[in-house]
Structure 1
Amino acid sequence: MAKKKKLLLPLDRIAIAVILVLTVLIGILISQGDAVRASVRNFSWEDRKIGAEDTSFNLVFSRPMDTKSVESNLKIEPPLAGKISWAGRRMVYTLLSPATYGTTYKVKLENALDKFAAKEGKKLTLQPFTGSFKTRDRTIVYIGTDGEELGKLVLYNLTQGQKIILTPKDLVVMDFKPYPQGDKILFSARLTTNPDLLSGKLYSVTTGVPIQPDTEPEAASKVELVLDNKIDGKTYQNLKFDLSPDGQTIVIQRGIKDEPGNFGLWFMPTPVGSINDKPELTRIESPPGGDFLITPDSKAVAVVQGQGAAILPLQKDGTKPLDFLPQFGLVQAFSTDGTQAAMVKFNSDFSNPTQSLFLVTNQGVNKELVKVKGSILSCQFDIASTNLYCLITQLLPGEQFIEQPYLVALDLKSGKQKPLLVLPAGQRNVKMNLAPDGLGILFDQVVSQEANAPNAANAIKSSEGEAIASSSLWLMPLLPAGDSAAANIKPEQLPLAGYYPRWLP
């Protein structure tokens, strides 16, 4: 009897067909060798919003790459100068200068070669890659001097042309410091009903600025009390304050109102709980001092004491300074990395008083940059610490004591001075602030209130106590060194009425 032929079931036919297809595909792959194209697995700045503190991004590849082909084919639009380093399959691109604020950048990479394929003589290229990131908007904050902005903290977004009044009608702002992310501002203010400049309290206010594109920012103009002027039955006078670069610590110079001479430095962590919580204030036990500035590492404070500048640790016992510089009478600025400081020496020739600006480094270098018969009002390092921008006055010849303020850029490597702008004589109370991307300087031009003018007693006052009638804000654009158009740059007046302008980080 003939053996009955076994029929294949439909499922068997499907399985055999799949096996045959896979066998053919495997054979093709084996005949072609390793032909899987490399790709970019991670771009660290993808869809991020970065600031001046962000100095490098990295690309991680799925396979080892021919580094020269990657470097020659990498494109950033608009151009962003940088240097490249490698660690295995990770490429790091370090910026030579901060990315321009208010800009969207695209990173493109095509035609880069696989390292092992290139060694075998094969031109196996990377899968084309395109990524993007943004920088923060160009945003400034100032104290208004006109109309509904009078005495208020005002935020103006230059990129979007939007303005927000941040503080309420019952407060007159006297000083402020932005938090490092730009989402909040620490400020001192007095009540509109109290003209006493020493009655100020510390507050914080939200800006409404998102930290990242995909995060929902806290609504703007939310004010919270940070430090009252009345604690434990005593009335304090909060004289000056500073916010640490990391945004975690506040240092306040304060005194007890009914105890003349009883003043000093206190520090406290930035509050995160209810405004009703009692602040964790700690007094630094050290001789009283003058102007002060928190160091870049946020762990110490530089303060003028006697005939020098002391670096005190942010701890209760400050009787043993970390350092003391007897030859300097003022610390103007620190570089971002803390390796350099701009310090002022008051020369002791009483017949010809002068001030000298020194560059002081952690390597023991004390280099005189400028010597003037006038005043060194303020200085600021750029983010790369290659230039120092200063506001300086020069005493004009004549019988009257009149100072001429001017802006100057100091090249710290060559020591060369580049005058930027000469301001009207007699305006000693000018305030200036360098943009975080280094491409602009804000400054104000204040018109003082006459002592016998109507409502002079109720006028807003600067931190020096000068009554302000009006003030305009100006922007001095800065171009990278070597740009041929830099010599023709002129300041432009902004359509804003205010003083003490500052950039958001």
Structure 2
Amino acid sequence: MTRSNSTSTLRSLTQPIDRVAIVLIVALSLLIGILLLSGNHASARVRDFSWQNKQVGADDTAFTLTFSRPMNHASVESNLRIEPPLLGKVSWAGRRMAYTLNTPAPYGTQFQVQLQKAQDRFTGSERGAMQPFTGTFQTHDRAFAYIGVSGEEAGRLILFNLNQQQKQILTPKEMVVMDFKAYPQGERLLFAAAERTTEPTVLTEQKLYTVTTGIHVDSPIQPDAAQASPAKALPSPAPAGTVALVLDNKDYQNLKFDLSVDGNVIVVQRVNRKNPNDFGPWLMKTGEGAQPLKGEPGGDFLITPDSNSLAIAQGQGLAILPLQPNAKPLDFLPKFGMVLSFARDGSLATMVKFNTDNTRSLFLVGNQNTQKELLRTTGSILSTRFDPTKKTLYCLLTELLTGGNIYQEQPYLAAIDLKTSKLHPLVMLPNQRDVQVSLAPDGLALLFDQTTEAVHDQSAADGQLRDSTGNAIASSRLWLLPLDPANPAAKLQPESLPLPGLRPLWLP
């Protein structure tokens, strides 16, 4: 039986159609093997550039290049060109290369990314050269907002674009703006304003509003977010100057306020009109009404960079409160009486200690409970700003001048090296205490104002502005101070801008 089956099988294999099938199978197997051994002859290419035709800001710290094939890392890194140059570090994850900038890209600049002659990992040098790639992106325009002080601009929010040399008034003449903050994309401003009347404008009558700037930023789409959900069409930007009421003052007076980094939280210091003992911070989240943060009333405050907590002066120290009604404090720092600023990533803060010998100390406080005294002075410590690299701290300080019957504080701008704690004076300012300083997001310039008090108080009778001490403002002009991050001690000359205004603020 077995011999018969074997004979039958051998006979079937000798049939012409079987022999043809065997030959075809062998031939196809050889072709498949050759193709597998020779690999794909298509040249490697850049499949995706995350910043292509995007507008990037200081918070955009890295771009990615995704390749169609595994690449020779060294050949890619040695052939990558960015014009104008941007220093950074390279890291890899499979076919994706990330380039992380050492410092924010300078604003108001167009960039080109080129990659030529890079090689894939498995093909020889002659056949492995990738297709040449050129990508482009640009940074946000250099723009800032300020409050006008003269003529039709007095008390109104004004937007100025340095790159385009364009000025635009954002708020109506019926409002006198007191203070304002910028939303993270610069598309809106949150501001406090009172109605313009023949009576002196007072802080307690202000309401909170938003106004659109007309700015529309096409930011890079994060790869993870893009994979998690399909891309959505960007909404059309609202025209500049669209004002919306955020918080009225019917039952409570609105005082100091702050806006979170993500733009979703507002904290306002409020006082009950019928009961002055009822005062404290109120919380407003996007899409929700205002509600009080119950607990011990406090003084000056700042929302932390993670947008989840509030640093507020309470009693004999600083409390860190979660942004939730009736929540218990997360921490209490009895050593300090004021918080001035946070680094962008929240890892560092500057705080002021009021010493028993009538001096003040500026401390650098880390999120790992590290504390370092940077400065002790008999003058005042008015404001501080971290540069993007967290290597330099720009400060507005005063020097106490005494002698005879003279008791005067001379303001000046200074830079402190955070590694050595060495202070470098930059610019001495006129004899004024109410100075607003704003550091550009890319760390390349400071804006500050120079106000002149009115000789008589009549200038405040028509609804014009007052400074933080309550004195009427006769005039004010803006100054631009270029900075050299590589040499913070360099004393560059400030430039007077032809813009009468005060409280300048760089947009993100």
TM-score after normalising by structure 2: 0.87
State yes or no: 1:77 paired with 2:86.
no
Matched residue SS, 2:192:
strand
Matched residue SS, 2:407:
coil
CA apart distance, 1:337: 1.2
CA apart distance, 1:482: 4.3
Decide whether the 8 Å contact of 2:459 with 2:474 is kept in 1.
no
Instruction: Measure, in 2, the Cα distance between the counterparts of 1:472 and 1:284.
Output: 38
State yes or no: 1:217 paired with 2:267.
no
- What corresponds to 1:269 in structure 2? 285
State yes or no: 1:37 paired with 2:37.
no
User: Structure 1 170/73 Cα, relative in aligned 2: closer, same or farther at 3 Å?
Assistant: same
- What corresponds to 1:160 in structure 2? 164
What is the one-letter code of the residue matched to 1:238? N
- What corresponds to 1:384 in structure 2? 389
- What corresponds to 2:71 in structure 1? 65
Decide whether the 8 Å contact of 1:374 with 1:392 is kept in 2.
yes
**More deviation in 455-464 or 217-226?**
455-464
TM alignment of 1:74-153, pairs within 5 A: 74-118=80-124, 122=126, 124-153=128-157
What is the one-letter code of the residue matched to 2:236? E
What is the one-letter code of the residue matched to 1:53? D
Instruction: Measure, in 1, the Cα distance between the counterparts of 2:504 and 2:122.
Output: 56
State yes or no: 1:327 paired with 2:332.
no
CA apart distance, 1:416: 2.4
Aligned length in residues: 460
Residue from 326, 344, 352 that aligns with 2:352: 344
What is the one-letter code of the residue matched to 1:164? Q
What is the one-letter code of the residue matched to 1:470? S
CA apart distance, 1:197: 2.1
User: Structure 1 30/168 Cα, relative in aligned 2: closer, same or farther at 3 Å?
Assistant: same
TM-score after normalising by structure 1: 0.87
Residue from 255, 260, 271 that aligns with 1:255: 271
What is the one-letter code of the residue matched to 1:321? P
Cα deviation code 1:266-291 (max 9, x no counterpart)? 101134xxxxxxx6122111111110
User: Structure 1 457/503 Cα, relative in aligned 2: closer, same or farther at 3 Å?
Assistant: same
Instruction: Measure, in 1, the Cα distance between the counterparts of 2:487 and 2:452.
Output: 36
- What corresponds to 2:248 in structure 1? 228
Q: Which consecutive unaligned segments of at least 5 residues does structure 2 have?
A: 1-30, 220-233
Decide whether the 8 Å contact of 2:208 with 2:246 is kept in 1.
yes
Cα deviation code 1:181-208 (max 9, x no counterpart)? 1000000000001523210000000000
Instruction: Measure, in 2, the Cα distance between the counterparts of 1:311 and 1:464.
Output: 28
- What corresponds to 1:367 in structure 2? 372
Instruction: Measure, in 1, the Cα distance between the counterparts of 2:88 and 2:310.
Output: 33
CA apart distance, 1:28: 11
Decide whether the 8 Å contact of 1:473 with 1:493 is kept in 2.
yes
What is the one-letter code of the residue matched to 1:257? R
Instruction: Measure, in 2, the Cα distance between the counterparts of 1:187 and 1:415.
Output: 36
Matched residue SS, 2:63:
strand
CA apart distance, 1:488: 5.7
- What corresponds to 2:500 in structure 1? 497
Alignment RMSD, CA only?
2.1
Matched residue SS, 1:117:
coil
What is the one-letter code of the residue matched to 2:120? D
Residue from 442, 446, 465 that aligns with 1:441: 446
What is the one-letter code of the residue matched to 1:307? Q
**More deviation in 76-85 or 25-34?**
25-34
CA apart distance, 1:26: 11
Q: Which consecutive unaligned segments of at least 5 residues does structure 1 have?
A: 1-24, 272-278
What is the one-letter code of the residue matched to 1:375? S
CA apart distance, 1:215: 6.2
Decide whether the 8 Å contact of 2:210 with 2:243 is kept in 1.
yes
Residue from 253, 261, 271 that aligns with 1:245: 261
Cα deviation code 1:56-81 (max 9, x no counterpart)? 00000111111111111100000011
Instruction: Measure, in 2, the Cα distance between the counterparts of 1:70 and 1:413.
Output: 35
**More deviation in 401-410 or 99-108?**
401-410
What is the one-letter code of the residue matched to 1:35? H
Higher relative contact order (CA 8 A, sep 6+): 2
User: Structure 1 114/266 Cα, relative in aligned 2: closer, same or farther at 3 Å?
Assistant: same
What is the one-letter code of the residue matched to 2:240? A
State yes or no: 1:412 paired with 2:418.
yes
Decide whether the 8 Å contact of 1:197 with 1:465 is kept in 2.
no
Decide whether the 8 Å contact of 2:157 with 2:171 is kept in 1.
yes
Percent identity over the alignment is 56
Matched residue SS, 1:140:
strand
